[in-house]
Amino acid sequence: MTTKCEQILEQFKLLISAEVGEAVEVVRNAMRPGVTGRPVISITMGEATPKSSSVNFYDWSVIVNCEVALMGNLKSLDNDFLNIRNQIQKALMTDIQIGLPFVIQCRADSVTAPAIVDGDYPCAVVTVSWVVDYRAQATEV
């Protein structure tokens, strides 16, 4: 059986992939995606916290990180990040339940400053974090 968190991560991958198209590679659980010449978005789970509970269910909040790795010239990296961040925002905010009936809401959390590595092929990484609130039965996560 697939967990609720696994379903949320897969839904992030599906929605973001549909929005960004084939120009951007979307992967799961690669903490530092390899830069392949095209942008890479790595989707990982962060901290999960129970918010409330009853005998039958728990309401959870889970952080989902979208780590964006880009390669290019230093002058264009900021603009490229903003474009991809906008595409992620559009993909996830079209439906605050992200198409999953057990999700209460998905909302933006934070964006890190670009971590830039200058060299022959400058690259940078930005993490765009989201909070997903969802309800699960007492026997599942």
Single-letter amino acid, residue 61:
S
In a domain, 139, yes or no: no
The domain tally of the chain equals 1
- Note down the domain range covering 84: 4-125
Encoding tokens for residue 108? Answer: 């933006």
pLDDT of residue 108: 96
Condensed to tens digits (0 to 9), the pLDDT of residues 51-110 reads 988 888 999 999 999 999 888 777 788 888 999 999 999 999 999 999 999 999 999 999
Q: Residue 7 — pLDDT band, cuts 50, 70, 90?
A: very high
In a domain, 130, yes or no: no
Angle at 102 between CA 19 and CA 56, to 5 degrees: 160
In a domain, 140, yes or no: no
**Upper half-sphere CA count for residue 90 (Cβ side, 13 Å):** 10
Mean pLDDT of 103-130: 89
CATH number at residue 85: 3.30.2000
Q: Residue 139 — pLDDT band, cuts 50, 70, 90?
A: confident
In a domain, 89, yes or no: yes
In a domain, 141, yes or no: no
In a domain, 131, yes or no: no
pLDDT of residue 12: 97
- Tell me the pTM: 0.89
In a domain, 16, yes or no: yes
63: left (phi over 0), alpha (psi -120 to 50) or beta: beta
Q: In whole angstroms, give the CA distance from residue 1 to residue 118.
A: 44
In a domain, 136, yes or no: no
Q: Mean pLDDT of all residues in the chain? A: 88
Higher-pLDDT residue of 64 and 125 is 64
